[in-house]
């Protein structure tokens, strides 16, 4: 939905700007930073003059955007005057005639350097001609090593753009929301900007799935009274105990974000009512001179577990060993008053600020705002790993973003080398990941490992606390299947580049063998082109053919030469009809004939001309002519959907939550279009529902009866019962998504059916 543009008089605009600037100054004056209001006022005046007369799409003066970014920088990230000035000036060089040199002359080297970094990574994120985010993101990450404030201000810029996204066209909303969820939210997570990461996810979800967002929001609101009562019952005895211990603290309950609730519902195929960890209790304490933070955390832990029963497998000690993004806290899960599991998070005030503001707060506590981060810090180590991928010429486009995302969005485990050194790796990392984290050659030669003196394969997943000794062999080398054994971006990139180089070498070798073979034929007074030779072996392209010759799958033997020397194609065809292409007389190891490519849909050959201001209509007339449904997610009418224009000739319709389209939105945003369903009820679509409940006599009969009563055809049923629990998946034919929702509601009314949800493969 696009909001109506704001129309203000000059006086109203000036009042709006002045009030916002005063709010920025008030916010800044409340901080502990050195008060440099004059410097900030100077930057504001400069930026206001530079952007004079320019308006945002919403109709408000453009200067309101830099002011909003500056307020996020000071309030939500916690930076000081240098960053505030850079935030106010961040669009000046890109959008006006002023240069970085002008900024340097007026505000000095440091602010000019930050503005220059922000300018380099801008241009294209919201532009119509932005064809790929890859290079933009590459620049973004590389600038982090120069001054971390560049990327922190960029995160503030993205957050404000997401907060004002309603002024943009739907296709632009989907593009920006998609790249935010795919790139910026994981980056905020890695930087420890938890509150910003959560808001970016929720805002992205709000624009991509407005109906689902609103439905979950209303359910959270509806359960507020019950939830608050549960928290009160839980907190009362705990407060009494902490007060007796003389601990200064603040205790609150934190509701799970809408996006994370939706993600859990989808990944576990459960309804809202079965999301049991809907809220967590957070205890933030003020440490005393007598007790260090770690000791105080464990004192509070003891108080909690003396009152409530502990879940032994749900303890997370990030106090002793912080996460790679600087996060520190002690997490535990206990049984609440009414038998519900409740997570408790214990943090000091310092830990809490780092948890909310990430590396900005960590930076402030370590060295102060105007000093660079310690080179040996965890962020620097992570940046080195990222830069390895960025500087590698191999991964491009979406492949590079996928490799980076492996590093951006991962929980950590801690493992030990044989000498006792600690290495941080993503959760689910394998022996092979660990080998590559030590050295590239160790990764290439890895054949297994000894974990705690026990022999394991390269695919073995590591656990925190494992001591790992890598075993190598000089004859070992990377293989295609290794991609299934790694989770880190670095390992993935190194394997891919090795295989790419190896393939290129085999292609060169195969090309030389082929050319030599053709030359030998010429000496025998037989002329043949490489195209004819490739066609003879039933290959479609030269590279693939040369590769198989190079690795020895195809042997251009003396027998093969005889076929061409003995006078032409008729002899060859008779020979092939008699013996087939795999006959040993032709080649010792000729591979089976490659399968013919699948016949593609006969799309219209005319280029589609689409209007970005209006949604593309999905109707019966255009079905399979100008649009088709993506097979990766199988959308049906009523689903939140989006169109991807392929080859300018066909619109492929995906569900907005489809992982494929999320990647496409972040890389080919200009090809994304909003769509509107207008399919008639005469057309049927396949859908799958998943049901679960207590096995009882006649339960399946009741289920099929309910489905039949709603005039829905059943295509397939798969069911199984384990220890009295009944589970099943039913493939049905429906007209739209509403019929699936209604059916699930009806099935839930059956006694012993505990859940019924649409299953998305």
Catalytic residue set: 94-95
Strand order across the 446-451 sheet: 454-456, 446-451, 468-472
As beta bridge partners, residue 61 has: 55
Tokens 């707060």, located at residue: 361
Which helix (H) or strand (E) segment holds residue 440: the answer is helix 440-445
**In 3D, which of 36, 125, 26 has the Cα closest to residue 83?**
36
How far apart are alpha carbons 470 and 441 in whole angstroms? 12
Cβ of 230: how many Cβ atoms within 10 Å? 19
The one-character DSSP state at 133 is S
Positive or negative CA dihedral for 165, 667, 679, 218?
negative
Question: Are residues 133 and 179 in contact, defined by beta-carbon separation less than 8 angstroms?
Answer: yes
Question: Are residues 57 and 167 in contact, defined by beta-carbon separation less than 8 angstroms?
Answer: yes
Q: Which residues contact 467 (CB under 8 A, 6 or more apart)?
A: 415, 416, 417, 418, 451, 452
* Cα Rg, the chain, nearest whole Å: 31
Tokens matching residue 519: 């030359």
Using the CB atoms, write b or e for 597-612: b if 16+ within 10 Å. Answer: eeeeeebeeeebebee
Tokens matching residue 668: 């080919």
Crossing angle of helices 359-366 and 148-163, rounded to 10°: 140
Question: Are residues 468 and 420 in contact, defined by beta-carbon separation less than 8 angstroms?
Answer: no
How far apart are alpha carbons 426 and 416 in whole angstroms? 14
How far apart are alpha carbons 736 and 734 in whole angstroms? 6
**In 3D, which of 571, 549, 556, 561 has the Cα closest to residue 525?**
561
How far apart are alpha carbons 604 and 615 in whole angstroms? 20
How far apart are alpha carbons 235 and 344 in whole angstroms? 11
How far apart are alpha carbons 78 and 492 in whole angstroms? 36
Question: Are residues 78 and 353 in contact, defined by beta-carbon separation less than 8 angstroms?
Answer: yes
Which helix (H) or strand (E) segment holds residue 524: the answer is none
Q: Where are the alpha helices (DSSP H) in 223-329?
A: 224-244, 258-268, 293-307
Q: How far is CA 277 from the centre of its chain?
A: 23
How far apart are alpha carbons 299 and 287 in whole angstroms? 12
Tokens matching residue 600: 């593609």
Using the CB atoms, write b or e for 493-528: b if 16+ within 10 Å. Answer: bbbbbbbeeeeeebbebbbebbeebbeebeeeebeb
How far apart are alpha carbons 370 and 66 in whole angstroms? 21
Cβ of 279: how many Cβ atoms within 10 Å? 19
How far apart are alpha carbons 44 and 21 in whole angstroms? 8
Q: Which residues contact 139 (CB under 8 A, 6 or more apart)?
A: 120, 121
How far apart are alpha carbons 276 and 307 in whole angstroms? 21
């Amino acid at each position: 939905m696009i909001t109506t543009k704001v129309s203000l008089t000059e006086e109203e605009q000036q009042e709006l700007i002045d009030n916002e600037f005063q709010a920025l100054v008030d916010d800044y004056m409340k901080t502990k930073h050195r008060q440099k209001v004059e410097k900030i006022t100077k930057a504001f005046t400069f930026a206001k003059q530079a952007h004079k007369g320019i308006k945002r799409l919403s109709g408000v003066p453009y200067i309101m955007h830099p002011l909003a970014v500056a307020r996020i920088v000071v309030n939500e990230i916690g930076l000081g005057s240098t960053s505030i000035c850079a935030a106010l000036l961040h669009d000046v060089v890109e959008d006006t005639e002023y240069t970085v040199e002008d900024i340097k002359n007026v505000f000095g080297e440091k602010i000019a350097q930050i503005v220059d970094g922000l300018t380099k990574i801008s241009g294209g994120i919201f532009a119509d001609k932005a064809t790929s985010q890859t290079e933009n993101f590459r620049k973004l990450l590389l600038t982090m090593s120069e001054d971390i404030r560049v990327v922190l201000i960029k995160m503030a810029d993205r957050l404000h753009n997401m907060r004002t996204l309603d002024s943009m066209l739907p296709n632009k909303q989907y593009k920006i929301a998609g790249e935010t969820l795919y790139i910026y939210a994981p980056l905020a997570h890695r930087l420890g900007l938890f509150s910003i990461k959560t808001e970016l996810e929720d805002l992205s979800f709000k624009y991509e799935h407005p109906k689902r967002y609103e439905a979950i929001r209303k359910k959270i609101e509806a359960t507020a009274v019950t939830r608050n009562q549960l928290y009160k019952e839980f907190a009362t005895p705990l407060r009494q105990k902490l007060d007796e211990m003389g601990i200064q603290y603040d205790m609150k309950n934190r509701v799970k974000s809408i996006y994370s609730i939706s993600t859990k519902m989808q990944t576990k195929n459960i309804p809202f009512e079965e999301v049991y960890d809907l809220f967590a209790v957070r205890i933030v304490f003020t440490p005393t001179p007598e007790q260090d933070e770690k000791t105080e955390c464990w004192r509070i832990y003891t108080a909690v577990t003396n009152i409530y029963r502990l879940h032994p497998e749900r303890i997370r000690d990030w106090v002793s060993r912080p996460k790679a993004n600087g996060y520190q806290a002690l997490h535990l899960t206990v049984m609440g008053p009414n038998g519900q599991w409740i997570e408790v998070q214990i943090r000091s005030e310092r830990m809490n600020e780092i948890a909310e503001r990430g590396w900005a707060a960590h930076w402030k506590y370590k060295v102060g705002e105007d000093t660079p981060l310690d080179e040996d810090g965890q962020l620097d180590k992570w940046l080195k790993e990222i830069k390895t991928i960025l500087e590698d010429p191999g991964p491009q486009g979406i492949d590079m973003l996928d490799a980076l995302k492996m590093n951006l969005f991962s929980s950590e485990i801690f493992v030990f080398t044989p000498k006792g050194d600690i290495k941080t790796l993503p959760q689910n990392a394998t022996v092979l990941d660990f080998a590559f984290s030590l050295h590239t050659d160790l990764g290439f030669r890895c054949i297994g490992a000894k974990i705690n003196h026990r022999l394991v394969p390269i695919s073995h997943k590591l656990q925190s606390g494992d001591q790992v000794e890598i075993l190598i062999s000089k004859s070992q080398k990377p293989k295609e299947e290794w991609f299934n054994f790694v989770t880190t971006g670095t390992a993935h990139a190194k394997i891919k580049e090795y295989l790419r180089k190896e393939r290129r070498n085999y292609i060169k070798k195969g090309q030389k063998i082929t050319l030599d073979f053709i030359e030998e034929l010429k000496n025998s007074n037989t002329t043949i082109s490489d195209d004819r030779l490739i066609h003879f072996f039933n290959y479609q392209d030269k590279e693939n053919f040369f590769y198989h010759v190079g690795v020895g799958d195809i042997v251009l033997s003396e027998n093969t030469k005889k076929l061409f020397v003995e006078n032409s194609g008729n002899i060859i065809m008779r020979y092939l009809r008699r013996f087939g292409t795999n006959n040993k007389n032709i080649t010792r190891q000729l591979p089976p004939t490659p399968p013919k490519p699948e016949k593609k849909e006969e799309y219209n050959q005319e280029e589609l001309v689409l209007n970005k201001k209006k949604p593309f209509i999905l109707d019966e007339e255009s079905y399979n002519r100008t649009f088709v449904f993506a097979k990766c997610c199988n959308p049906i009418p009523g689903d939140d959907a989006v169109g991807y224009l392929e080859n300018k000739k066909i619109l492929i319709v995906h569900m907005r939550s489809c992982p494929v389209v999320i990647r496409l939105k972040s890389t080919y945003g200009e090809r994304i279009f909003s769509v509107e369903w207008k399919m008639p009820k005469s057309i049927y679509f396949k859908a799958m529902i998943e049901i679960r409940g207590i096995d009882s006599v006649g339960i399946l009969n009741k289920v099929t009866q309910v489905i039949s009563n709603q005039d829905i055809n059943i295509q397939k049923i798969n069911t199984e019962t384990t220890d009295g629990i009944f589970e099943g998946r039913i493939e049905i034919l429906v007209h739209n998504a509403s019929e699936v929702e209604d059916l699930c509601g009806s099935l839930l009314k059956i006694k012993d059916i505990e859940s019924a949800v649409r299953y998305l493969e």
